[in-house]
Structure formats: C-alpha cells, structure tokens
Amino acid sequence: MREFKFYDVEQENIRQWIAEHEAAHKVLDDLKVLGEFNLSSLPMDINVIPQYSYEFAPGPIGTSVKVRCTCGAQKDVTDVDSW
C-alpha cells in the first residue's frame, strides 16, 4: 500500500514542471510590466506569488499525484509506470 510519498519519476516530473512553470511566471511578469496583454485572457492568475501544493488522489489502481500552483495551474505528475 502506497503512503503519501513521491517516486523518483514523480519527483523529477515535479521538478521539471515547476522549473517550466516558474519560467512562465517570469515571462508573464515581464509582459505584465510592458502591458503587452490582456490579463483577463490568461488561464492563470499571475498576481499571486507562485507556491506549490500537492494532491494525492487514491484510485482503484494506484494513487495519482497532482502539483498545483497558487495561480490555478496544475499538472498531473503521476508515475503510472510505478503502478
């Protein structure tokens, strides 16, 4: 039975997604300063400081793991191969 822990692949998925996501925040922050786009058209709230939380959802086969940013973005980082 799996407890609330990450497998290596998931840790890597999380690390990768956060790196990409931080970069996206940075780009959007820069664009915001330039007034280059309409903020309401974005799928995420860039007026928050990005912070991450994890969500474990036990399913019939295995536990899926999601990482979520305070901006509303989320990513399923489940290592399905570990099931």
- Give the interface with Zn ion as residue ranges (CB under 5 A): 50, 69, 71, 73
Q: What are the φ and ψ backbone dihedral angles of 56, each rounded to 5 degrees?
A: -105, 125
Residue nearer to Zn ion on the CB measure, 50 or 62: 50
Residue nearer to Zn ion on the CB measure, 1 or 49: 49
Shortest Å distance, C-beta 6 to Zn ion: 20
Residue nearer to Zn ion on the CB measure, 65 or 75: 75
CB-based contact 49:27 (threshold 8 Å): no
Shortest Å distance, C-beta 50 to Zn ion: 4
H-helix or E-strand spanning residue 64:
strand 63-69
Q: Where are the alpha helices (DSSP H) in the chain?
A: 8-34
